[in-house]
Amino acid sequence: MTRNQITHHLTDALLMAYSAGSLPEAFNLTVATHVSMCDDCRARLAAFDTVGGALIDSADTAELAQDSLAATMARIRAGKSTPEAPAPRRGVLPAPLRDYIGGDLEAVRWRPVGMGVKQAILPTSRAATARLLYIPAGAAVPDHGHRGTELTLVLQGAFCDQVARFGPGDIEVANEDLNHTPVAEIGADCICLAATDAPLRFRALMPRIAQPFLRI
Amino acid sequence: MAKRAGPAQVTTARETENTDWVACIAAIRDHGDEAAFARLFAHFAPRVKAFLMRSGADANLAEECTQEVMSTLWQKAHLFDPTRASAATWIFTIARNRKIDALRKQRRPEPEDLPWGQDPEPDQADVLALQEESDQLGRAIAALPAKQRELIEKAYFRDLSHSEIAADTGLPLGTIKSRIRLALDRLRHAMK
């Protein structure tokens, strides 16, 4: 990935929950993808991991099984030496996202959702949904609000909504209070990774009927 | 050997311990040093097991996962980068990922590695600086007001979201969020 000028970052709450391991998988994927693109959030995440390390270091202890160390040594001796993962190839998309797609951008299986917008839902646990969105230059995603939290990470191109402009690497954290209509900038088609922990609420009639079918 | 204890040379017990752990992991990586592993095991395995049990694993599952976490430490010793993490931090991340895998049955997406990779011969000054910072953060957490520290511990150890902590403690969500924010502000201030 090329380094980007990122101006919209992850919140402390999201970074801490990612470090603690309490986010749904779709959010973990979005956080890991943003951190892959953003050195700033990578450094902040390292600080939250250090908090976890300090807590475990000063925490209570539990009694181990009597043969715990011997059993662990036996595991190590029996263990197939974990084969070295080949150095990951660089791609258009960050590595964690490529893992879920099963390839780079050209491997995405897009499905049309209307007005030129396409989506691809990625396989994660059901607590939240991760999807790739393809918004043609100048097109809009229908006006919608959220019951829960929606994270939208720009991978390519840029979009604007009532809040701000979001370019490559930028992440928008939206909650119940926000109704917005993201519009892709003229010039390049916009590709985003979006994670939601509750269905979106579309304000116009058509998308609301379409919602159960499209799983948005 | 006489040592003048200038301010730059004041080291805490924990800090020395941190650099000892770094040396233990290097000994495992370079010589398959079982004595070094036994020392790390004696300190960290009971803590990893307690962490897994507080996250909801029963004693058997926690024991099994602890053994897996500690054998991962052996197998991946060559991937440990002491300029980026203390031993405790690294072990925490291995234990957390094992927890998500074993208890939640989910994959754990991790960020792409930095393009420049890991320095095979890390600068000792960088290692010391990182280990000292980890120690400093540990002391700052220990010094947090009890109410703030408890919430941070709940977030990390009990695997609870803010709204689950609210349900668990009966505190309003806003109070929890502001206490955690205050705790993080204090930690940032302590790290300046």
CATH no. for residue A149? Answer: 2.60.120.10
A144 and A206 Cβ atoms separated by less than 8 Å: no
CA-nearest residue of chain B to A66? B63
pTM of the model: 0.87
Let me know whether A99 and A48 are in one domain: no
What secondary structure, in 3-state letters, does A89-107 show? CCCCCCHHHHHHHCCCHHH
> Higher confidence at residue B103 or residue A36?
A36
Q: Give the pLDDT of chain A (216 residues) as one tens digit per residue.
A: 445 689 999 998 899 999 998 888 999 999 999 999 998 999 999 999 999 999 999 888 999 999 999 999 999 998 755 555 555 667 789 999 999 999 999 999 999 888 888 999 998 888 888 999 999 998 887 666 667 788 999 999 999 888 889 999 999 998 777 777 788 998 889 999 999 886 655 444 444 455 555 555
The reply to whether A162 falls in a domain is: yes
The reply to whether A210 falls in a domain is: yes
The reply to whether A174 falls in a domain is: yes
Residue B62 has its nearest CB partner, among A62, A95, A124, at A62
pLDDT at A86: 57
In sign, the C-alpha dihedral spanning B80, B135, A21, A110 is negative
Let me know whether A21 and A108 are in one domain: no
**Cross-chain residue pair B156–A20, CB shorter than 8 Å:** yes
pLDDT at A61: 93
For residue B142, the chain A residues in CB contact (below 8 A) are 58
pLDDT at B14: 64
For residue B157, the chain A residues in CB contact (below 8 A) are 55, 59
Q: How far is CA B9 from CA A12, A32, A74, A179, B54, in A?
A: 34, 38, 41, 56, 38
Residue B108 has its nearest CB partner, among A28, A58, A95, at A28
Let me know whether A47 and A112 are in one domain: no
Q: What is the predicted ipTM? A: 0.88
The reply to whether A181 falls in a domain is: yes
- Rounded to whole angstroms, the Cα distance separating B150 from A49 reads 17
Let me know whether A102 and A200 are in one domain: yes
| Last residue in a domain, options A11, A34, A57 | A57
The reply to whether A37 falls in a domain is: yes
The reply to whether A86 falls in a domain is: no
What are B136's two structure tokens? 């400093």
Chain A, residues 113-152, CB within 8 A of chain B, namely 124-125
For residue A96, the chain B residues in CB contact (below 8 A) are 109-112
A176 and A145 Cβ atoms separated by less than 8 Å: yes
The reply to whether A75 falls in a domain is: no
The reply to whether A68 falls in a domain is: no
pLDDT at B5: 43
Let me know whether A105 and A176 are in one domain: yes
> Higher confidence at residue B7 or residue A72?
A72
Please give the DSSP secondary-structure letter assigned to residue B7: G
Let me know whether A99 and A154 are in one domain: yes
Each residue of B81-98: b (16+ CB within 10 Å) or e?
ebbbbbbbbbbbbbbbbb
Question: Mind listing the pLDDT tens digit for each residue in B28-76?
Answer: 999 999 999 999 999 999 999 999 998 889 999 999 999 999 999 999 9
Overall number of domains in chain A: 2
Q: What is the arrangement of strands in the sheet containing A190-196, beginning at the earlier edge strand?
A: A111-114, A117-122, A129-135, A190-196, A150-156, A171-174
- Domain containing A200 equals 95-214
Let me know whether A131 and A190 are in one domain: yes
Let me know whether A44 and A142 are in one domain: no
CA-nearest residue of chain B to A26? B109
- Rounded to whole angstroms, the Cα distance separating A211 from A202 reads 8
Report chain B's mean pLDDT, rounded to a whole number.
85
What secondary structure, in 3-state letters, does B70-113 show? HHHHHHCHHHCCCCCCCHHHHHHHHHHHHHHHHHCCCCCCCCCC
Let me know whether A103 and A207 are in one domain: yes
A91 and A104 Cβ atoms separated by less than 8 Å: yes
For residue B176, the chain A residues in CB contact (below 8 A) are none
pLDDT at A202: 46
Query: B128 vs chain A: nearest CA distance in angstroms?
Result: 15
Query: B34 vs chain A: nearest CA distance in angstroms?
Result: 9
Let me know whether A107 and A191 are in one domain: yes
Is the Cβ of A92 closer than 8 Å to some Cβ of chain B?
Answer: no
Is the Cβ of A181 closer than 8 Å to some Cβ of chain B?
Answer: no
Residue A108: how many CA atoms within 13 Å on its side-chain side? 22
pLDDT at B56: 87
Pairing of strands A190-196, A200-202: unpaired
Let me know whether A19 and A126 are in one domain: no
- Rounded to whole angstroms, the Cα distance separating B166 from B173 reads 5
Asked whether the predicted pLDDT for residue B3 surpasses 70, the reply is no
**Cross-chain residue pair B109–A29, CB shorter than 8 Å:** yes
Asked whether the predicted pLDDT for residue B129 surpasses 90, the reply is no
- Rounded to whole angstroms, the Cα distance separating A183 from A202 reads 15
CA-nearest residue of chain B to A30? B109
- Rounded to whole angstroms, the Cα distance separating B79 from A74 reads 22
A19 and A51 Cβ atoms separated by less than 8 Å: yes
Please list, in sequence order, all residues whose beta carbon lies within 8 angstroms of the beta carbon of residue A172, skipping any fewer than 6 positions away: A8, A150, A151, A152, A161, A163, A164, A166
Let me know whether A137 and A204 are in one domain: yes
CATH code of the domain covering residue A37: 1.10.10.1320
Number of neighbours of residue B3 by Cβ within 10 angstroms: 6
For residue B181, the chain A residues in CB contact (below 8 A) are 12
Query: B134 vs chain A: nearest CA distance in angstroms?
Result: 6
Most A-contacting residue of B18, B29, B67, B168 (CB-CB within 10 A), to test interface? B67
**Cross-chain residue pair B160–A22, CB shorter than 8 Å:** yes
pLDDT at B176: 80
pLDDT at A215: 55
| Nearest C-alpha neighbor of A125 from the set A37, A174, A195 | A195
- Rounded to whole angstroms, the Cα distance separating A15 from A1 reads 21
Asked whether the predicted pLDDT for residue B2 surpasses 50, the reply is no
pLDDT at A101: 94
